């Protein structure tokens, strides 16, 4: 059974409709509108990259098969950290790549165990503070992974950094989501097992903190009868590093302040990383960089049949939609 991905007409003009094979419409228009709103904030703040962000996803070329299924074949993306369009594409790509890596790990080492670790520090008050906090968290995480009790059972990891905005006090909560792959000896005895209290103590030590940070650790199962725990963990690590709803509110003055802080805090930061066997497999599978690599082909959801023809969709700034070139 094939789904009708036909093109809607609007006052005689053809509007882009792009659906997955399950019939879900891909949110091109919604993401581009968020991208435009982000561009306008950058323009007001006089960021040089504003014009580059405005051009993101302006022209989309699709290959279309005989059943009207579409696959993106050409586009240009700005790859800015706060761009909703690029973050949508990155999230799909990171999720797809991570699942491929995890499946290969389980094929090679079926007896490994999986943990989901969340690491936090106190909220940052501005962009400069956020920049320093993210730098120190990366250094602290690297120290944490090298501690003997952690490293002796560690097979590999996947780490993602997320920043959320506290709308009540305007601070920024930076935290890391980490999928840990450990040997099955991890749960055997106290010499190998690390309790929640111990993880907290180790993170405090790695970060050289004077306070006790919030740390959460849980064991996860690769499969259950619904959505697998490991799939849920991957989805958590593949989330947007920053939600556009955090800086696209009704308060423009506050939006400008948040964008300025986030641009400073996230500048040249590595937000996704792999380690150990997971990093090795990522390389062996010839997967490109999930953050800075290709954002056109992000998964295998848009595989299509024999290419029959191509269409080009242009973003119309006044009508706020994608229209097909005749």
Q: Let me know if residue 84 belongs to a domain.
A: no
Q: Let me know if residue 232 belongs to a domain.
A: yes
Same domain, 29 and 71: yes
Residues 180-199: tens digit of each pLDDT: 999 999 999 999 999 999 99
Check: CB of residue 255 under 8 Å from CB of residue 249: yes
Residue 280: CB atoms within 10 Å: 15
User: What predicted TM-score, i.e. pTM, was given to this entire model?
Assistant: 0.91
Same domain, 276 and 302: no
Same domain, 166 and 312: no
pLDDT, mean over the chain? 91
Could you give the CA distance from residue 294 to residue 300 in angstroms, rounded to a whole number?
14
| 250 φ/ψ angles, rounded to the nearest 5 degrees | -80, -10
The pLDDT score that the predictor gives to residue 211 is: 98
Q: Let me know if residue 83 belongs to a domain.
A: no
Check: CB of residue 313 under 8 Å from CB of residue 62: yes
Same domain, 275 and 309: no
pLDDT-derived band at 10, boundaries 50, 70, 90: low
Q: What is the number of structural domains in the chain? A: 2
- DSSP assignment of 239-308, as one string? S-SS-GGGTSSS-HHHHHHHHHHHHHHHTT---EEEEHHHHHHHHHTT---TTTS--SS-SSTT--SS--
Residues 75-120: tens digit of each pLDDT: 999 999 999 999 999 999 999 999 999 999 999 999 999 999 999 9
Same domain, 326 and 241: no
Same domain, 169 and 185: yes
Check: CB of residue 308 under 8 Å from CB of residue 59: no
Same domain, 43 and 107: no
Q: What is the mean pLDDT of residues 284-289?
A: 93
The pLDDT score that the predictor gives to residue 13 is: 82
Same domain, 166 and 275: yes
Q: What is the mean pLDDT of residues 55-64?
A: 96
Residues 196-239: tens digit of each pLDDT: 999 999 999 999 999 999 999 999 876 555 556 788 888 888 77
Q: Let me know if residue 85 belongs to a domain.
A: no
Same domain, 270 and 121: yes
Q: What is the domain range of residue 51? A: 1-77+297-326
The pLDDT score that the predictor gives to residue 230 is: 81
Same domain, 60 and 116: no
């Amino acid at each position: 059974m094939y789904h009708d991905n036909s093109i809607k007409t609007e006052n005689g003009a053809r509007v882009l409709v792009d659906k997955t094979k399950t019939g879900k419409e891909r949110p091109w228009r919604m993401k581009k509108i968020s991208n435009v709103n982000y561009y306008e904030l950058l323009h007001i703040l006089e960021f040089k990259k504003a014009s580059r962000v405005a051009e993101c996803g302006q022209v989309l070329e699709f290959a279309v098969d005989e059943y009207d299924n579409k696959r993106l074949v050409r586009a240009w993306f700005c790859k800015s950290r706060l761009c909703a369009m690029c973050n949508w594409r990155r999230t799909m790509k990171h999720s797809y790549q991570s699942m491929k890596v995890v499946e290969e790990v389980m094929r090679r080492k079926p007896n490994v165990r999986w943990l989901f670790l969340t690491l936090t520090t106190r909220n940052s008050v501005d962009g400069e503070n956020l920049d320093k906090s993210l730098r120190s968290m990366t250094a602290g995480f690297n120290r944490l992974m090298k501690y003997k009790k952690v490293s002796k059972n560690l097979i590999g990891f996947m780490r993602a950094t997320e920043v959320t905005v506290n709308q009540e006090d305007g601070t920024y909560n930076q935290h890391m989501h980490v999928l840990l792959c450990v040997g099955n000896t991890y749960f055997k005895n106290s010499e190998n097992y690390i309790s929640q209290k111990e993880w907290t103590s180790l993170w405090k030590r790695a970060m050289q903190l004077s306070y006790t940070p919030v740390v959460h650790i849980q064991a996860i199962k690769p499969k259950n009868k619904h959505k697998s725990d490991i799939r849920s963990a991957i989805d958590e690590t593949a989330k947007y590093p920053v939600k556009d709803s955090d800086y696209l509110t009704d308060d423009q003055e506050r939006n400008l302040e948040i964008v300025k802080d986030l641009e400073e805090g996230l500048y040249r930061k590595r937000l996704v990383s792999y380690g150990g066997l997971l990093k090795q497999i990522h390389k062996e599978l010839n997967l490109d960089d999930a953050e800075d690599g290709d954002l056109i082909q992000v998964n295998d959801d848009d595989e299509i049949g024999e290419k029959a023809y191509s269409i080009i969709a242009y973003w119309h700034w006044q009508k706020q939609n994608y229209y097909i070139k005749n």
